[in-house]
Structure 1
Amino acid sequence: MKKTFLTGLAVLIALVSFAQGTKKPKLVVGIVVDQMRYEYLHKFKDRYTDGGFKRLMDEGFMMKNAHYNYIPTYTGPGHSSVYTGTTPATHGIVGNNWYVRDLGRMIYCAEDSTVSAVGGTEKNGKISPRNMLTTTITDELRLSTNQRSKVVGVAIKDRGAALPAGHLGDAYWFDKNTGEFMTSTYYKEEVPKWLKKFNNKKLAQKYLSNTWKPLYNIKTYVQSVEDNNEFEVPFIGRETTDFPYDLEELMENNDGIGLIAGTPFGNDLTLDMAYAALEGEELGKGDETDFLAVSFSSTDYVGHRFGPSSVELEDTYLRLDQGLEEFFGYLDKEYGEGEYLVFLTADHAVADVVNYFKSMDVPTGSFDSRFALTQLKGFTRANYGEGDWILNTSNDQIFLNRPLIAEKDLDLEEVQRDIADFMLRFDGVKEAYTAADMKRFEYTEGRKHLLQMGFNHKASGDVLLILEPAWLTNSSRGTTHGTGFIYDTHVPVLFYGWNVKPGQSSKYCTITDIAPTISMLLDIRIPNGASGQPIQEITD
């Protein structure tokens, strides 16, 4: 009898263990905060609510030393790398836009001429993930359940929705001409009923009827520089860059309804859309794990215009924090604490404003690409004869006229090296590498390694430049990103919720580790081009 009882107990324990081992979260929420530096977590922490960013930091697991592991650090490559677990060298999204030799023109990372708009305006609807050459973690989730799991991507920017949603999910983005969210025939043949209902609320127009004022007394924004300064880019029609901003008045000369993207209310609108997608698609309400990919684009627009030390940026993050607190409270209520899994990261960070650094005598500068190109064209004609030797310059890369080089019986590698050496003459250019270098050698450290991880044999240029630290191209007011320096690579990586124990680590990790980590947590296949590794502090 005792033996029978013990055997039955062992079977019961095994069954319970099996059930616990196979349990999955109801929902995964991937959050990308466009252009968010890691330092913003701490810089504004004293002003954050308990339930927003601080909830993830204090109750989730935080990787304090997480970085992008390639150049260039742009939005398209960033979203792709987070969700594929690999770099542009493999997934193929080598920029937001890049030059294609066979076409003789620039292409956009998410463009697709074979599809049409569904909702919105036609020119903003030719969007799909087809330029991305590998699977995403969202694809792998769908494949693991024979596509019973649902995946939805939501963002103001089309690339911020389409690339995370992968090849098998649905994506919705903002159409600045109509103020509505839209999709394309890659995903749907008609606008879902729930989206029509959402769009009919005309929330963008309602937000833009407001005046953007600081959330708190402006004297309390001690982490930011003086509000009115010479470092920021004023809105068209205004000479100054200080609060308040009458949005209704600014609309006429600042992209109409599209103005909302450059205000914190763009993040509010994105959250509104996230709620609508959760409810309209009934995400997390079925038998399988579903996935919501949300990208907050407005932090990037505000950051570009005003810079990382501005009152406007601080205010934007304080407002986003409040929105996240409400969002996480909603998830608690709808799915239950511990029943959903969240990760939060950024698609890149950002450089400081050149004029701001100059005002403090910190080494910085602006590389004059137009002057350099003029000089380069003169150099090539003087050395190789008349002809259009330079087809394109973009993303700090130079594309040479290879057919002309062959026609003149010149050695391509020698021409690449000549031009790389010539470019080192210019102030602001720190390093120059050739495509031949990238193909021949395997670099394992330093900026040349980051450059190689972003180098695609078919899509990248003949000569690749790296500027000096804190130098930007053609920049004085406002700022940008794209380099492999710490200010552009260091981003937040936080996991929270289902099967995630609180903690933190200063161990180096890369954003390409996020997708493999999610794969291990969900016990599904790692994306097929992944080069990152699971973060063991979280998975083990």
Structure 2
Amino acid sequence: MRRFLLLMFIAVVLSACCQPERAADRPRLVVVVSADQFAQDYLIRFADNFAEDGAFRRIEREGARFPHCHHRHAFTVTAPGHATQLTGCYPSQHGIIGNNWFNRFTGKDVYCCDDASVHIVGLPTGKPVSPRNLLVDTVGDVLKLGSGNRSKVFGVAFKDRVAMLMAGHNADAAFWLDDNLWVTSSYYRSDIPGYLRVFNEQRALERYHGQTWDLLLPREKYHNTGPDKNNWENPPKGFTSEFPHRLPGPGVLKPIEFGDLVLFSPFGNDVTLEAAREIVVGEALGQDEFPDLLCINLSTNDYVGHAFGPHSLEVEDLTYRTDRQLGDFLRFLDERVGRGRWVFAMTADHGVAPIVEYARQFRLPAKRNALGSLSELKAKLESRLRTQLGAAPDDKPIVQKVEDYQIYLQHDHRLFVEGPSDRFVLAQRIVRDWLLDQPAVAAAYTRDELIRGGEGKLFQQIQRTFHVHRSGDVLLAQAPYCVPGSRGTTHGSPWHYDTHVPLLLVGCGIKQGEFDRPVSPACLASTLSELLKIDYPAGNVEEPLAEALLP
């Protein structure tokens, strides 16, 4: 009888060990990685060269992939893309309409994280910033609220806005690099923890003097076959357009210039992930019954993409290295937190346009500065408005500000205050119609139209970007492949190459498979909330990725 009972006990234990992880097994640590400017296109074009022990092959074997993930707002720049991921909503609600925007009441530009009431800890001369301009809460904020602040939430990135907008209002800290030092805001805490102070005191970026970034794989394995030597890329000071890229020895560049150059190489992602490991260990993340959240941004991918473009050897090589770096980080999580006790999610804030000169070689209708400079555009719009509205010669300007994607009018202008009640709406329409007459403009909508609502994918993308108190009076989207600047490339459009990004999950409670449903990075907020068994952030508008969750 005893033998029978022993055998039954062993059978039950073995059965339990062989069961897939259930959703009831709440993860002890959630890690969200946003690889800045990482297009889904890279997972398609470069798939055959990913490492077997890299992150992407592991996620293919064990995790969930959503190949049809697109940002659903129009103006795909860094701050809105990161604010969207863990709030579950769009700029129309979370209020982060750009990296910067114009404050019509003060007449000044606003940085998305400006906050004069705080100071930078670790660098007293740093620009004071906090997450206060974010108008809604994040997954981390809800997690802290539900656990009575016993869960820990951290953000780490090169860019202050990314670390803060992902981590949220009530994070334990957000850390970023400023003047080659890890710093934070007094909004969060009054000191730099010892594990990051060591980095600062040792001037850790200087260890990369004399290091070389060369191709990881044999040249014939690469898919980007354009000329490595060219005049359309925009390499940073100290690099050329050609491999190998050698970081100079001491004394060649100023310390800040050398630090910037490190960030334009794969060593930059090493620095970020090293800091992330230190946070996991130093803060004992994932070690108790209260789940924790760590938000990581890999900014190097964005810097390299801007400089060299998505069809460069640099971007392709960096993609292979990112795969391997993240594979190492997943193994670190296995060892430190325990396999089956963590969840890893990866997405991106935006994609990127091809470099104009490269695109033209393939007969694409690519243009640089298709509307001229912003000052030229402002002058043309001012002239049209003054003529059609009958402005007096001594009337002040009607156009208050012109930005890349929006036009602000002077709301207190005499013509609007003293004239017919519909004159302000008429002024918006004059601007819109002039813009629509330009071949480089694909769409333009007035404040009045965006408030009233409308149909169509492009309209809704722009409407999701429009915030009634922060946006301009006419918003526009240029035609595909229209890019500002004289060299290199950028992002910011509503077009496929800028909106199509990865969405990958692996770990506790995640079902293996590829799921074809169209989704958004904003779906991460509700999905991670389900895994953590907390309520959704207040502004959330997206359904969770239920097909990727184990029952």
- Verify same fold: TM over 0.5: yes
What are the superposed Cα offsets for residues 403-443 of structure 1, whole Å, 9 maximum, x if unpaired?
114245261100000111111232311111100100112x3
Map of 1:500 onto structure 2: 510
Sort the Cα spacing of 1:427 and 1:173 in 2 relative to 1 into closer, same or farther, 3 A. farther
* In 2: Cα distance, 1:360 partner to 1:344 partner: 31
Map of 1:433 onto structure 2: 445
Contact 2:229 2:242 in 1 (8 A): yes
Contact 1:83 1:164 in 2 (8 A): yes
1:415 aligns with 2:418: no
- The RMSD of aligned alpha carbons is 2.3
Map of 2:463 onto structure 1: 452
Instruction: Quote how far apart the aligned CAs of 1:156 are.
Output: 0.6
Residue range with higher mean Cα deviation, 77-86 or 424-433: 424-433
Sort the Cα spacing of 1:311 and 1:486 in 2 relative to 1 into closer, same or farther, 3 A. same
* In 1: Cα distance, 2:338 partner to 2:226 partner: 41
Map of 2:268 onto structure 1: 266
What are the superposed Cα offsets for residues 60-110 of structure 1, whole Å, 9 maximum, x if unpaired?
000111111111111101111001000000011011111111121111111
Instruction: Quote how far apart the aligned CAs of 1:258 are.
Output: 2.4
* In 2: Cα distance, 1:222 partner to 1:261 partner: 24
1:513 aligns with 2:523: yes
* In 2: Cα distance, 1:272 partner to 1:201 partner: 14
* SS in structure 2 at match of 1:343: strand
Map of 2:86 onto structure 1: 83
* In 1: Cα distance, 2:468 partner to 2:384 partner: 26
Equivalent residue runs for 1:300-315 within 5 Å: 300-315=302-317
* In 1: Cα distance, 2:114 partner to 2:265 partner: 26
User: Which structure 1 segments of 5+ residues have no match?
Assistant: 1-11
What code does the residue aligned with 1:111 have? Answer: D
- Fraction of identical pairs, as percent: 35
* In 1: Cα distance, 2:436 partner to 2:253 partner: 43
What code does the residue aligned with 1:197 have? Answer: V
Map of 1:55 onto structure 2: 58
Equivalent residue runs for 1:235-246 within 5 Å: 235-236=236-237, 240-246=240-246
Instruction: Quote how far apart the aligned CAs of 1:319 are.
Output: 1.5
1:379 aligns with 2:384: yes
Instruction: Quote how far apart the aligned CAs of 1:181 are.
Output: 0.6
Sort the Cα spacing of 1:197 and 1:462 in 2 relative to 1 into closer, same or farther, 3 A. same
1:400 aligns with 2:425: no
* In 1: Cα distance, 2:491 partner to 2:77 partner: 7
What are the superposed Cα offsets for residues 253-276 of structure 1, whole Å, 9 maximum, x if unpaired?
983422222222111100110011
Instruction: Quote how far apart the aligned CAs of 1:380 are.
Output: 2.6
Equivalent residue runs for 1:169-248 within 5 Å: 169-177=171-179, 179-236=180-237, 240-248=240-248
Contact 1:115 1:186 in 2 (8 A): yes
Contact 2:78 2:162 in 1 (8 A): yes
* In 1: Cα distance, 2:74 partner to 2:341 partner: 36
* In 2: Cα distance, 1:132 partner to 1:431 partner: 28
* SS in structure 1 at match of 2:67: strand
Map of 2:301 onto structure 1: 299
1:112 aligns with 2:115: yes
* In 2: Cα distance, 1:235 partner to 1:197 partner: 28
What code does the residue aligned with 1:205 have? Answer: E
Give the one of 460, 464, 472 matched to 1:461. Answer: 472
1:355 aligns with 2:357: yes
Contact 1:354 1:365 in 2 (8 A): yes
Contact 1:150 1:291 in 2 (8 A): yes
Sort the Cα spacing of 1:535 and 1:498 in 2 relative to 1 into closer, same or farther, 3 A. same
Residue range with higher mean Cα deviation, 521-530 or 20-29: 20-29
* In 1: Cα distance, 2:439 partner to 2:65 partner: 39
* SS in structure 1 at match of 2:277: helix
Contact 1:98 1:395 in 2 (8 A): no
* SS in structure 1 at match of 2:430: helix
Contact 1:469 1:485 in 2 (8 A): yes
Map of 1:323 onto structure 2: 325
What code does the residue aligned with 1:381 have? Answer: R
Instruction: Quote how far apart the aligned CAs of 1:283 are.
Output: 0.7
Contact 1:232 1:305 in 2 (8 A): yes
Contact 2:46 2:223 in 1 (8 A): no
Instruction: Quote how far apart the aligned CAs of 1:208 are.
Output: 4.3
Residue range with higher mean Cα deviation, 316-325 or 366-375: 366-375
* SS in structure 1 at match of 2:101: strand
* In 2: Cα distance, 1:525 partner to 1:90 partner: 18
Give the one of 13, 23, 26 matched to 1:24. Answer: 26
* In 2: Cα distance, 1:209 partner to 1:105 partner: 43
Give the one of 524, 528, 531 matched to 2:541. Answer: 531
Sort the Cα spacing of 1:243 and 1:252 in 2 relative to 1 into closer, same or farther, 3 A. farther
Instruction: Quote how far apart the aligned CAs of 1:361 are.
Output: 1.5
Instruction: Quote how far apart the aligned CAs of 1:251 are.
Output: 3.8
What code does the residue aligned with 1:160 have? Answer: V
Instruction: Quote how far apart the aligned CAs of 1:536 are.
Output: 1.7
* In 2: Cα distance, 1:259 partner to 1:522 partner: 39
User: Which structure 2 segments of 5+ residues have no match?
Assistant: 1-11
Residue range with higher mean Cα deviation, 378-387 or 142-151: 378-387
What code does the residue aligned with 1:188 have? Answer: R
Residue range with higher mean Cα deviation, 28-37 or 241-250: 241-250
Instruction: Quote how far apart the aligned CAs of 1:378 are.
Output: 2.4
Aligned length: 522
